[in-house]
Amino acid sequence: MPQKRIKAVIPAAGLGTRFLPATKAMPKEMLPVVDKPAIQYVVEEAVSANIDDILIILGRNKNNISNHFDSVPELEHNLTNKGDLDRLRRVQASSELADIHFVRQGEPKGLGHAVLRAKGHVGDATFAVMLGDDLIDERDELLTTMIDENERTGLTVVALMEVDPDNIHMYGAAAVEPTDNPDVVKVTGLVEKPKKEDAPSNYAVIGRYVLTPDVFEVLERTEPGRGGEIQLTDALQELATTSGVLGVVFRGRRYDTGDRLDYIKAIVQLAVDREDLGTDLRPWLKDFAAEI
Ligand code: G1P
């Protein structure tokens, strides 16, 4: 059955404190991963999942993000005159990807608050939330599987990944029960960034969600939680105990560009696989690794 087209929401209003001073005047979503800003990978992932309407929730330094998805006539003119058609194509790609809308978050009151800002645009429909820190390798399908699971059951679906228990304090952690499908679990509870000893499991929520619109009503009355912020995880905890939440277990390649070390690893891993860079980078990396 063909999938219903849903909208995607990309919250990009975080302060990016882990990357200061790089993020002093530039949002972390604009940090380059090889030669594209991180947020462009997320938009491309949405487009691959048949989504063509994307709402980006902006924080401070918003202009960088909206400019990136606009056309730049003088740059395009310059590249055309030089006959640099390859670069022209790449510059135009970001403005032709999808129908991209923007809304301001106003104050950085947390991920749950940012998602609530999408209510007017999304309306009474199921939608996807995609966090810019998590890049999912384009060869590993995740969002389409989550949308399928939502269409099959009508339930909210979150993406889960097993992580080292020492790292679970960096994520929303899920209590889960198996289903008939080894790649899908029932989520019976969720807790935002628990201590290792309090975590219900080592299943971490990674930044992809397919949410039913009842989440807005819950978010409207969700009190500030961890870090004094309105947490999406807390709203989903309520849905897990009422309407129901499923988890799609992801076993593919995910790059956490919100962490400095993982960001460096992500660039190297993606560049090694690139046709235009890999051939030169691979032997250099081997020599470099042999020397250190
Ligand atoms: C957010 C969510 C958290 C989730 C994580 C995934 O946290 O609050 O539940 O596990 O994204 O990347 P953040 O990384 O924005 O602090």
Residue owning the nearest CA to atom 11 of ligand 1: 207
Q: Please work out whether the CB of residue 133 comes within 6 Å of at least one atom of ligand 1.
A: yes
Q: Please work out whether the CB of residue 158 comes within 6 Å of at least one atom of ligand 1.
A: no
In angstroms, the CA 277 to CA 220 distance is: 47
Tokens 């997320």 correspond to what residue? 42
Query: Angle of helix 143-153 relative to helix 38-48, nearest 10 degrees?
Result: 50
Tokens 């002093």 correspond to what residue? 24
In angstroms, the CA 114 to CA 106 distance is: 9
Q: Which of 10, 30, 7 is nearest to 19 (CA)?
A: 30
**pTM of model > 0.75:** yes
Alpha-carbon torsion (224, 229, 232, 237), positive or negative: negative
Q: Please work out whether the CB of residue 134 comes within 6 Å of at least one atom of ligand 1.
A: yes
Which of ligand 1's atoms lies nearest the C-alpha of 133? 12
pLDDT of residue 98: 84
Which of ligand 1's atoms lies nearest the C-alpha of 111? 8
**Which residue positions in the chain have pLDDT lower than 70?**
1-3
Q: Name the 3-class secondary structure at 52.
A: coil
Residue pair 143/128 in contact (Cβ under 8 Å)? The answer is: yes
Q: Please work out whether the CB of residue 16 comes within 6 Å of at least one atom of ligand 1.
A: no
pLDDT of residue 1: 54
Q: Please work out whether the CB of residue 29 comes within 6 Å of at least one atom of ligand 1.
A: no
Full set of structural domains in the chain with CATH: 7-258 (3.90.550.10)
pLDDT (tens digit per residue) in 37-86:
999 999 999 999 999 999 999 987 778 898 898 888 888 889 899 999 88
- 9 C-alpha to ligand 1 centroid (Å): 15
User: For residue 11, what are the contacts with CB-CB under 8 A and spacing of at least 6?
Assistant: 57, 105, 111, 114, 115, 129, 131, 132
Q: Please work out whether the CB of residue 171 comes within 6 Å of at least one atom of ligand 1.
A: yes
pLDDT of residue 275: 92
- Ligand 1 pocket test target in 168, 170, 206, 230 with most atoms within 8 Å of CB: 170
